[in-house]
Chain A
Amino acid sequence: MNSATFIQHMLNSLTLGSLYALVAIGYTMVYGILRLINFAHSEMFMLGAYFVFWGITLANLPWPVAMVIAIVVTATLGVVVDQVAYRPLRDAPRISALISSIGVSFFLQNVAIVFFQAIPREVYRPQWLENPIIMGGVRVLPLTLFVPLLSLALMLGLIWIVYRTKAGLGMRAISKDIETSYLMGVPVNRIIALTFGIGSALAAASGIMWALRYPQLQPIMGTIPGFKAFIAAVFGGIGSIQGAVIGGLALGFIEIMTVAFFPDLAGYRDAFAFVLLIAVLMFKPTGLLGERLEDKV
């Protein structure tokens, strides 16, 4: 393998890893606050991609506008899902909300099949993302730069919200002690809704960029990336945003590099993540940066 190919593999790993990381953040933030694994999260990834598709084909919107609108709509939907499917179960046993999230996941997938149809659809890709550019002798797709850069910008925005704003302070407080936060005047339900909104927006952004990279839309397209992002969140230490980012990037590197160095294993590509999950749960169940997790669902 020469250095040019290696750099390409690195960029591909970074692209894939960023996409996992963005989705993993949503899993980890919701888990951090509600101790809920939100299985419906992967459908936000799928819906975000579809919304862009419809924005472009039906409303004739320019691509960036369609992307922003799709993210906003998906974020709103994430809030609605919380209000309808999880909020009434706040005082119920944790397993109830978990089952509710599985129900929401199937529901949204099937709604997508009804409205968007099950046939895979081709995605429009802006030309400027497709024309390779040569950088220092390496042929680079602008997309493999665009995805990590936009992801980085979104993550910096997230860190700013979590560590520099009042709502972020509220999030960090309720992730440790909901009742005391409530007693101090933190509007807990509003902060939880905001968390779902942010997580869903990031998942939508990831789904949209995923559709640029693997340009095909399907109602079940969120399932496998969603599982992998969840594994990334567990690997990084569920509940930790930094952990989710590290876990996502690590998983991206593992997948791309294993296939790059051992092409014979390419067929097992999807299995790596699950092997990693089993290994993490067996040897370091708290993940890289996680806290103790004795009463996890």
Chain B
Amino acid sequence: MLEIRDLHVHYGGIHALKGVSLDVPKGSIVTLIGANGAGKSSTLRAISGLVKNKRGRISWNGTDISSKNPVDIVKSGIVMSPEGRRIFAHLSVLENLRLGAYSRSDEAGIAKDIDWVFELFPRLSERRNQKGGTLSGGEQQMLAVGRALMAAPELVMLDEPSLGLAPLIVKEVFDIIRMINSKGMTVLLVEQNAYAALKVAHQAYVLEVGTITLSGTGEALIADDRVREAYLGG
């Protein structure tokens, strides 16, 4: 499991995270909700090793990973699918998936996982030789999730996976999150769509200007008046 204790992040003069602590138990879906600029992405970027200037403890299955670089983090079993999907538009669907498996060298396992991703997302399978940029928004999100799964991670971190998608597709994205979780994947989800995120999450944290202000089960937070008022439109 992932344990974060008293995590601080600074960007230049900005103190983006002011002592964040949270737990992501194995096999669960944990969500981090909050307004724009609250520090949700910073938390994920710190875990994934992109942010170097940080303080605090990030412990993964018992070892401190706070000083590791992104490549080692991926190898340790944590992968992040960044905000905006960021698929490689000029590479084919298949190449995007192969890129997700870059840290692995077990060719047989990679081939098996490509088949598995195509099984999970038959629409990607149909478009396997198409360039990533020709896919629709929803398909691109499937590709972004599929690419992350190709790293054979234990923990998948999703940064705003529903951003910019049509309502029908948003529902599909949350179904996908439930599905990969049911396949044994631990999920840390950052979302602005607080209601949908809380519905799907086992455990949830509310982040406000760099500090965790509330935490509890997804259901408990949906029922919480402060959350209803601030994030669920009253």
Contacts and interface: CB of A to CB of B under 8 A. Distances in A.
Contacts of A182: 50, 70-71
B22 interface: no
Interface SS of A by simple majority: helix
Nearest to A172: B91
A186 B102 contact: yes
Of the four ranges (under 10, 10 to 19, 20 to 34, 35 or more), the interface on chain A belongs to 10 to 19
A176 B103 contact: no
B8 interface: no
Contact of A185 (B82, B95, B102): B102
B74 A185 contact: yes
Given A184-B79, A186-B99, A186-B102, A176 B70 contact: no
Contacts of B100: 184-185
6 contacts: A169-B95, A169-B98, A173-B99, A182-B71, A185-B103, A186-B71
A130 interface: no
A181 interface: yes
Given A169-B98, A169-B99, A183 B70 contact: yes
Interface in B101-135: 102-103
B48 interface: yes
A177 interface: yes
Contacts of B80: 183
Interface residues of B, number: 22
Given A176-B88, A176-B89, A176-B90, A181 B82 contact: no
Interface in B42-94: 48, 50, 70-71, 74-75, 79-80, 82, 86, 88-91
A188 B82 CA distance: 17
A180 B74 CA distance: 12
Contacts of A176: 88-90
B151 A184 contact: yes
B40 interface: no
Nearest to A180: B86
Contacts of B88: 172-173, 176-177, 180
B82 A179 contact: yes
Contacts, number: 60
Nearest to B153: A185
B98 A183 contact: no
Nearest to A177: B86
A187 interface: yes
A214 to B, nearest CB: 39
B99 A181 contact: yes
A226 interface: no
Contacts of A173: 88, 91, 99
A35 to B, nearest CB: 16
B102 A166 contact: yes
A170 B74 CA distance: 15
Given A173-B88, A180-B82, A180-B86, A185 B75 contact: yes
Contact of B50 (A172, A183, A185, A186): A183
Nearest to A179: B50
Contacts of A188: 71
A122 to B, nearest CB: 47
A153 B43 CA distance: 49
A192 to B, nearest CB: 13
Interface string A156-174: 0000000000100110110
A187 B50 CA distance: 13
A184 B147 contact: yes
Given A169-B95, A183-B79, 15 more contacts: A166-B102, A169-B91, A169-B98, A169-B99, A176-B88, A177-B88, A180-B82, A182-B50, A182-B71, A183-B50, A183-B74, A183-B82, A184-B79, A185-B74, A185-B102
